[in-house]
Structures are given as structure tokens and as C-alpha cells.
Chain A
């Protein structure tokens, strides 16, 4: 797509204009119980034409990619901006769209074409067979999603950015049933294994080995005890820390939420603008970074969708809140330091503040040290349920699989593990953080936010973490 040519052909009375082109191809293959359920490829492509007039941005997003279509879109966007300018939430200037040039490519070993649709279907069929470790497995699923995304951004003040992504998500799950007891186990929680990576992720030996473990754990849960209802130490595996960081650190620190943009939908935040630089968010063991440069993590990139260059930044350091998760627009509105996270889900949605890669930095404990320090507690793995209030404070999360910890040792498997807490006090109870050898990288393609709604990709890396005195509970008998 020759965006610079389209930009040069525009005849427009605007203070600034930007063109953002997105072309994305998603291949989705799903097998259940040995039979194909979906072999689908979706292609979307379009341009968002954005203008700045009288301090107000407005956009027109279209699938028409010719110069006449782009000109019409730009002229209409100018009319929208003029209509809205009398009621602008903020008088923006071109400073909201920094001029940058550069590119980005995902790192991968094997291109999508290296595994044929037939071969991938055969692998997924074998995966569902391997998940059926006994006749108690009543349903088994294997899914692969491959996304190729090409994004370009040019602007009248000189931005010229091209970024190409290859992203793969895989999920393998088994449902076990014995009479009225039903238990599901997946490979680290639904779609948690989402990365910028190539088809090397479909190594057959590794996939089948993992499926056998997933199936065995589903069956194991059928005869497991209920998670106790008690206030105990709680050790969270990295595949649950992903959700804990996402919901109770990431969302409350998004500057657009704190500024009130999401009050009608996703909600507000218990964090206020005056808290940055001061608030003791968690214990001194808590170090959170915004890191768009982690190879293979799902939300790595060099530039956000407003053209800002992305850099690693500490968001929370030794428990103290440092800066917000807000792009240039939010930084201008709030006066608070932020990061380059002004991102859109596609060409047809305007960018807003999204958390991208948000990671908990490793500490100095081995997993054995963490378990060994617990007199009585629960070790929970893999998210299955999540809910949190509109201020991102009162949460309740559930996991697929848990193990009781007694006298410093893992003892019995537990089913239906849940825990609840309040973000502002929960993180202060952090008393152990795994070392770098225990760190794992996960992600999800499905973080929802925004009006109109946007589902976007985020990444979270974390070691296992130990929390003191958490209310845990099981299912209903």
C-alpha cells in the first residue's frame, strides 16, 4: 500500500492528517474429538484517515483504498471535527502525533507457509486423540490461530512507520466427567500461549506430550478434594499471574480510565492522577515494567498507533507507582508521565490507551523456596474465571488446577480453586517472587475495552508469586 502517495494527493483544509493502513489475515483451525470444526481464514484491510481541525481529532475509516475514497473520507472527517470542536474534551495540537520513522518485524523461525493446512489439521487431530487419556475424557479440543498483520502509518508532519507481525495462539483442552462431576483442564488457560512466533510452536513431540499431561490432569481433578474455604497463603503460577497483573495492575493504571473515558463501559480506577510518584501500590518486592521489546512476547512493537516510539519503562518500582499506562494524548491531558501504548485493535477503531506487554520483574526465590516457606497454603494454576469491579478493586478469580501446600510441601490436588481480594491491599501482601529461572511469558489476544468495543493483544510475563492471608474457596457441592 503506497500510503505516502495517497497522503501527497490529499487536498485538505486541516492542521494535520494521518493515514493508518492495517491488513490482517487470521487463519483459525479447530478440531474437536478428532473432527474438524473450523478451517477459516479471515482477511480484513482498510485505512483510518484521521484529521486535526481546530484542536479536535476526527476520523473516517474505510475499506476503499483508492485516492478518491481517501479524499472523500478526509473531507468528511474534517466536517466531523468542525462539528465536534466546540465541545472538545481537550484542545490538541500536532504534539499529540510525534513524527517518527522506522519499522518492526516479529522474530520467528518458521513462516506460516512451512506447515500446510493438511499437516496442521493432522497435528490437531492427533492432539485431540492424545488428550483422551481415558474414557472419562468426554470432549477434547485443539485449536491453532495464526495472525499475519501489516501496519503502516504516515502523517503530514513526517511520520513514516511500517510494522509487520506474525502471531500464533494455540490451545489444547480436555473435559473430564464422572457422574455429575465435570472438570476442564487446558494448556495454561484459554489462549494463554499466544506469542509473536512462527510455526515452530507446533513441534509435534512437544505438543503431544503437553496434551497427555493436560488430559491426565483433567481426570485427576475428578477425584480431587474441593479447595478449602479459608484464609491462607496463596502461591500463583505465572499462567495465573498473567490475569492478576492484567486486571488489578494493568487496567487501573490506564490513564484514559483514570481520566474518565471508560466510565460508561469498562469503568474507572481506584488510582487517581495525584497518586503517580507517591502511591505504595504493593510490597517492595513488586516491580512492574512496560516492555515492548521482549522477543516473542505478544504485544511487542517499536511504535504505537499514534506514531510514538515505544521504550521500556518501570511502571511500579519497589512497590511505588512511577508512571501511567497512557499514550501521548493522555499524557498531554493529565500531565502524568506515560508510555507509548496508544493502540487500536484494527483500521476501523481509533487508538486508546492499552497495556501492551506488562510484566512483573523476577525476584530471587526458586519455586522450591516459595513452596518451602509456606506452612499452609494453596498453589493455583491456569485461569478459568475472572471478575473485578469498575474501579478495579474488588476481584474474584478462579483457576483450573490447584495443589495444597502443607508444611512446605505440595501435598494434594484441589479442584474448583477460587480466591478473592481487593487490589489495593492484595499487592501489599506480596511476600515472595520467583527468580528469573521461573519466569514465563504468556499473552492473550482478547483484552476487551473501549467504546466502540476493541479486542486487543496483550502480553504478560511473570514468575510465580506468593501472597499472604488470601481468602480462598472452592465450588458448590
Chain B
């Protein structure tokens, strides 16, 4: 992967539209612009055959206009053709200007302040879209693979009338897939990166195929109850994803909707083995937000079980009189990093003894927010283990347990090795970010159905 300083056509388009709009501002108007674009290939596989394939070129610009303590916002699609897009953005500014004056005052709006700057433009050698079938499919033959190939470039930018200027662009690919055996036992895997290496891809796929053989034994059904459990990194990442929803948001905390309320109001702690931070040092997602502010590179959220910070936008800071951590308005985790512990990979089964080994979880939801209780399903390569030996794959079970237990008094050990779990979501557009975390060993985990 290479970093380029030269301004590419997409950044040039954004800069030209930004300059034109800023020149149109009147009086006390403030304007913030957020640019988002992607050139993406999406190819779906079912049974190691191609189900659907295509390319998406999407470009959009968001405008936040502030005047007289009022704010109106809009976003429009761009064509990528400068003259046409200049007309579109001018029309949108006129629409916002007409609307903003009739809106009620917003006492907590965030006015752009004197600017910060950042620039990241990373290029990689990706597979040519019209060759992806020929490169990807041969190695899949003989396997039952379902999944999605995503490859291409993502752009994000910010400009505001106070002078902030940010640009982030990167190339990446990810093959997110499931392998199935004839008994419908499934294994989940992900091959992600920047520069394409054919041999690494083929080796990775072969390694997954080898792991699938572990699922050949007859499935084991267990009764609902409380079991010792090891939850591998991908499952822990699913749990941590829940913390972006009624979780570690200062706004959710202040309005009573956070599952972490008891940690603040009652001083409850999680296990001293559990620490979580938001950490941008990997560079996999931009640090700037829709106000042009830069989040700190690292912020401790929970340290040794103690709640230290919640993600706080400047809007929340303004409303509730707290300090901003320059989160965006969603106050969601973008790059969560959970601290590792001491449980070595080779010692996991022995430490588990008798219990369940859970590689992945599925369809999580809060079942009782105030109690921190989360329900979901086990999925993929999960096993019943006796005396440190895998006995066979586990039939899917529902769990319903509180993080106050599984990251609290039931957390026995934390894995010594951390894995990166890339964010493969694409609602609205390809998402950036990942969750870096180890697995966890629990003295008890509630399986309910």
C-alpha cells in the first residue's frame, strides 16, 4: 500500500465544490461539508458459484448550514461532472437557506470552529473487477462457499467555513465467507487486505478448508443452563458492537438509555481483567467527524473494569455541560480495542475444561437494557468440550446474559492474542473500521433455549 500526496480527481472535485460554496456564504452563515464516495465491486457467491456481480459508483455531499442559531442539513447525490455538480450544490445551498430561517432555534448546535487539517490517501494494488471471477473462483471449487467479495476505493472528506480541511481515501478488499460441510455445519472466515496477493488468498482458503474438517463429528445437543464458556474473538467483537447501541454514548447515558448507567450511578465495576478503548492508531478509519474536529488517537473507555469515559460529541457536550471527546453525533465505537490478557491460545481448551467453545455469535439484541442483558444465538464452529477435549460441534443455542456478568464477575481469563475483526457492513455504503479484541473465558454463561 502506498501513500500519495498528489490531489486525485475525487479530492479535486470536493475542493472545487467546497470553494464555490464557501464563496457564496452571506453574513453570519456557517457551512460544513462532508463528502463521501465509493467505487466498489460486489460479488455474491452461493455454493462456490456466482450469484450476483456488479459495480457501484456512488458520490454524495452533505451540507450543514447554520444561521441565527438555527441549522438545516441536506445531502445530495453528485454526478462526478464538475459543471453539473456545481449547479446541484448551489441549488441545495439555496434550499437550505430558504428553510433555515423558519426553523426553531437550536441551543445546542455546534458552530464550526477554527480549523484542523488532516490528509490520508492510500493506494493499493487491487484485483481488476473484470478478472475477479477468474482469480477467485478456481480455488473455491470443491468447497461449498457462500459469501461476498467486496473490493474498491472509499473516500471521505470534510471542509467547513472556519477552515477545517480533511481528506481520507483508501483501497481495500474483503472476502467475507462461510464454508459448509455436507451436514450443513458452517465455518466463518474473512480474508481482507489492501494489496492483492493470489498465493496468500489460496493459502488462506485452504487453511479454512482444513478447519472445516473439525466439524465432521456428530452434533451434540445440550440442555439450557449455565455453562463454562470460551467465546472467541469474533464472538467478543459481536458483544462489543452492542456497546454502540444504548451503550458507551454520553448522550445515551444522559438521557437514561445507556446500559452502562449503573456503572456511573451505582459505581458498579466490571472485571479488573476487562479494559476497552477507542483507538485510531491503526489508521483504518478517519479521526475527523462531521464538525471537522479530530478525535484523540486513543481514549480509554473502561480501564480494569472501571468506567472512565463515554464517547461524547460536541453537541452532547454543549447540551449537558460535559467535555467533548470529539466523537461524531452517533457516539458509536469506530475502532474499539479490547486489552489482551494472559490466556495463551494453546491453553484455551485445558482452561475451559468442560463447557462450550463459541467461535461466533449471531443476531444480538438487548433483552433488558438497564440490566445490561444481551440475547443472541451461537453460530458457526461452536463445540462441546469435555476435560479439555473437543467432543463435537454444538447444536445452535440461544444465550441471554448480562455483560455485568460475562465481562464482570464471570470473566475468568482474557486471551493473550488479539484478532482484528473488520467491519464488513454496507448499509447505505461500505463501512470503515474494525474491532480488535481477544477471546474470553467465562466461569458461567447462560444458555436459554
Chain A residues with a Cβ under 8 A of chain B: 32, 35-36, 38-46, 48, 50, 56-66, 69, 73, 76-77, 79-84, 86-89, 116-118, 121-122, 125, 138-139, 175, 177, 180-182, 184, 259-261, 263-265, 267-268, 348-350, 352, 385-391, 394, 396, 398, 416, 418, 420, 422, 448, 451-455, 475-476
Contacts and interface: CB of A to CB of B under 8 A. Distances in A.
B129 interface: yes
Contacts of A59: 52-55
B376 interface: yes
B266 interface: yes
A38 B103 CA distance: 10
A39 B73 contact: yes
Nearest to B255: A139
Given A38-B73, A350-B52, A451-B147, A84 B133 contact: yes
Contacts of B366: 385
Interface in B30-63: 40, 42-44, 46-60
Interface stretch (B201-209, B299-307, B357-365): B357-365
A-B pairs, 7 with minimum CB distance: A59-B54, A451-B148, A476-B371, A452-B426, A89-B49, A118-B102, A79-B130
A89 B47 contact: yes
A44 B57 CA distance: 13
Nearest to B396: A389
Contacts of A87: 48-50, 133, 137
Contacts of A60: 54-57
B375 interface: yes
A260 B177 CA distance: 13
A259 to B, nearest CB: 7
A139 B104 contact: no
Contacts of A35: 104, 106-108
Contact of A261 (B55, B81, B146, B377): B146
A58 B108 CA distance: 47
A221 to B, nearest CB: 12
Contacts of A422: 449
Given A263-B146, A386-B365, A396 B396 contact: no
B107 to A, nearest CB: 6
Contacts of B376: 387
Contact of A63 (B43, B57, B396): B57
Contact of A43 (B46, B50, B74): B74
Contacts of B241: none
A429 B349 CA distance: 42
A396 B365 CA distance: 10
A80 B53 contact: yes
B370 A182 contact: yes
A38 B315 CA distance: 12
Which among A56, A117, A452, A454 has the greatest number of chain B C-beta atoms within 10 A?
A452
B75 A117 contact: no
Contacts of B150: 452
B103 A41 contact: no
Contacts of B50: 56, 84, 87-89
Interface in B258-275: 261-262, 265-266
B178 A263 contact: yes
A43 B59 CA distance: 12
B389 interface: no
Given A89-B51, A476-B368, A389 B377 contact: yes
Given A77-B54, A175-B257, A453-B426, A387 B49 contact: no
12 contacts: A41-B75, A43-B92, A59-B55, A69-B79, A73-B55, A117-B103, A182-B369, A350-B52, A394-B449, A396-B448, A452-B42, A452-B430
B409 interface: no
Given A62-B57, A138-B256, A452-B150, 19 more contacts: A35-B107, A35-B108, A39-B103, A80-B53, A80-B129, A80-B130, A88-B50, A89-B47, A175-B255, A348-B56, A352-B52, A385-B366, A387-B398, A389-B396, A398-B367, A418-B367, A452-B40, A476-B368, A476-B373
A287 B262 CA distance: 45
Contacts of A175: 255-257
Contacts of A86: 133-134, 137
A50 B55 CA distance: 10
A264 B428 CA distance: 19
Contacts of A57: 52
Contacts of A451: 42, 44, 147-148, 176, 426
B55 A76 contact: yes
Nearest to A265: B148
Contact of B46 (A40, A182, A263, A396): A263
Contacts of B78: 63
B400 interface: yes
A421 to B, nearest CB: 8
Interface string B179-215: 0100010101000000000000000000000000000
Contacts of A61: 54-58
Given A121-B103, A180-B262, A46 B77 contact: yes
A406 to B, nearest CB: 25
Contacts of A64: 57, 79-81
B257 A63 contact: no
B8 interface: no
Contact of A36 (B47, B104, B379): B104
Contacts of A66: 79, 81
Contacts of A268: 184
A146 to B, nearest CB: 14
B428 to A, nearest CB: 8
B201 to A, nearest CB: 16
A80 B77 contact: no
B58 A46 contact: yes
B398 A394 contact: yes
B51 A388 contact: no
Contacts of B43: 84
A267 B377 CA distance: 12
Given A118-B103, A121-B104, A261-B146, A80 B396 contact: no
Contacts of B377: 387-390, 394
B54 A125 contact: no
Given A42-B75, A394-B398, A398-B367, A260 B46 contact: yes
A86 B141 CA distance: 12
A64 B137 CA distance: 31
Nearest to B88: A43
Contact of A420 (B49, B180, B449): B449
Contacts of B132: 83
Contacts of A387: 363-365, 367, 375-377, 398
Given A451-B42, A451-B147, A43 B186 contact: no
Contacts of A125: 104
A264 B148 contact: yes
A80 B428 CA distance: 23
Nearest to A268: B184
B297 interface: no
Interface in B142-192: 146-148, 150, 176-178, 180, 184, 186, 188
A303 to B, nearest CB: 20
